[in-house]
Structure 1
Amino acid sequence: MLVKREALDDVGLWDESYFLHCEDLDWCMRFRLNNWLVVFVPDARVIHVWGACSRSRPFFVEWHKHYGMLRFYNKFFRKLYPGPLWWLVVLGVWLRFGLVSTYFAAQRVLVQLTSAVKGGTRV
């Protein structure tokens, strides 16, 4: 991200309450709310060299991603939603987490079964 110094001075640094994910969304929302232009360049190429955490600890990463989503929505949109609609958003986020987690668990089991079959080991 490229940020003008004046914009940074205006809105402040990243919200350190986010652990993984959504801190950039929070920052962009704060820029937007303070009338700074946020520009997305879809053709910009970036290579994420490490990315080891998402591969080695997918449940951990997904938990914090979904928790961050709720924190973001709570911070910026909670007052716009009537109570029941807010709880539907919360339910939807955690249902999505459950589906994604189930996918990762099934994928892990398939990898273990495939390697066991290839290795001639009985599971």
Structure 2
Amino acid sequence: MLKSFVKFSLVGASGVVVNMAVYTLAMYAGLHYLAAAIIAFCFAVTNNFYWNLIWTFRGQGNKSTRDKYCRFVLVSVLNLVVNLLILKTLVESFSLDKALAQLVAIGLVSLLNFVMNRRFTFND
């Protein structure tokens, strides 16, 4: 399980890079920070699914790739809701910088995301 978590974390790190790049560009384009976070999520979730499918959880689970993707997106959306609540709280209640708040929120939901995907998406 530790090996899978390390791989999941490395994939997640690539997702953070994708997320933050899209988030920053969307903010630069004038979008509200919550809208920017949702758009960034859409790009990052696809990146993360692909790499988790072919590397982290390769060969695990008998579900079709389509079923795994749907489950992965569902788990990711649930985690996005938690992420947005944390992001909004950090920005509006604690006046944290929006980019830093996004990084903190991503970090806080990472373990929950791993556990849910390991059990629900890539498990039989």
Structure whose alpha-carbon radius of gyration is higher: 1
TM superposition score normalised by structure 1: 0.35
Higher helix share: 2
